[in-house]
């Protein structure tokens, strides 16, 4: 079995050579800081890619961490499983392949509630994902969403290129949702491509 450091280095090289989006070096520092502070136990990840962030969460989370991760691509799921199987966390990371919007209502509820969520998938679907995730959250949870500033366009007054307008509009809606909705408190870090750190507390009914 390879050391986790060796495995991470291999995955970083593979991602760079094959243009696979993993959390970038600048965003990674903030990402890992939050993981180490939270030490999550039950984790939901939307967007497995090659399994890099899932392994980082497993390595830096609680000793008994259990991760449910969702990936659209069959090929990437296979690559992620091959990497994860080389680690001591293979039994703690469970990959489900398919459309996240569907899996969030079928597979994800089976392992709920989650005290930690990482969203790094289709940027235009973040609000839809979150609305499906909210019933699956523990009473107190942390939600990280990557790439929320999308190349700087989300906070820019300049109009984004036409092909990015829908994504930018929906990411702005996501930020507004997690900033203004009761029960959500959010900080936006400009590290990397923008990382939204949301602390969620379920509102109790009187």
pLDDT tens per residue across span 105-120: 999 999 999 999 999 9
Cα separation values, 91 from 55, 88, 105, 108, 165, Å: 12, 8, 23, 17, 41
pTM of the model: 0.94
Q: What is the pLDDT of residues 12-48, one digit of tens each?
A: 999 999 999 898 787 888 899 999 999 999 999 999 9
Q: 171-198 pLDDT, tens per residue?
A: 999 999 999 999 999 999 886 688 999 9
Q: What is the percentage of the chain residues whose pLDDT exceeds 70?
A: 98
Residue-range domains of the chain with CATH: 4-201 (3.40.50.150)
Question: pLDDT tens-digit profile of 68-84?
Answer: 999 999 999 999 999 99
| Neighbour-count burial for 162-199, b at 16+ CB within 10 Å, e otherwise | eebeebbebbeebbebbeeeeebebebbebbbbbbbbe
């Amino acid at each position: 079995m390879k050391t986790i450091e060796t495995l991470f280095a291999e995955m970083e090289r593979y991602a760079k050579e094959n243009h696979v989006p993993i959390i970038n070096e600048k965003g990674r520092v903030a990402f890992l800081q939050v993981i180490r502070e939270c030490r999550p136990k039950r984790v939901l990840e939307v967007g497995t890619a090659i399994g890099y962030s899932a392994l980082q969460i497993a390595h830096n989370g609680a000793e008994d961490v259990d991760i449910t991760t969702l990936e659209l691509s069959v090929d990437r799921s296979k690559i992620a499983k091959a990497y994860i199987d080389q680690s001591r966390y293979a039994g703690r990371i469970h990959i489900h392949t398919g459309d996240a919007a569907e899996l969030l209502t079928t597979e994800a509820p089976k392992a709920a509630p989650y005290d930690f969520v990482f969203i790094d998938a289709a940027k235009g679907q973040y609000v839809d994902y979150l609305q499906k995730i909210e019933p699956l959250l523990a009473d107190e949870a942390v939600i990280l969403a990557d790439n929320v500033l999308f190349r700087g366009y989300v906070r820019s007054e300049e109009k984004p290129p036409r092909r990015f307008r829908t994504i930018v509009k929906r990411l702005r809606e996501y930020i507004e949702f997690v900033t203004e909705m009761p029960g959500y408190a959010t900080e936006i870090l400009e590290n990397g491509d923008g990382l939204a750190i949301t602390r969620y507390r379920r509102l109790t009914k009187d």
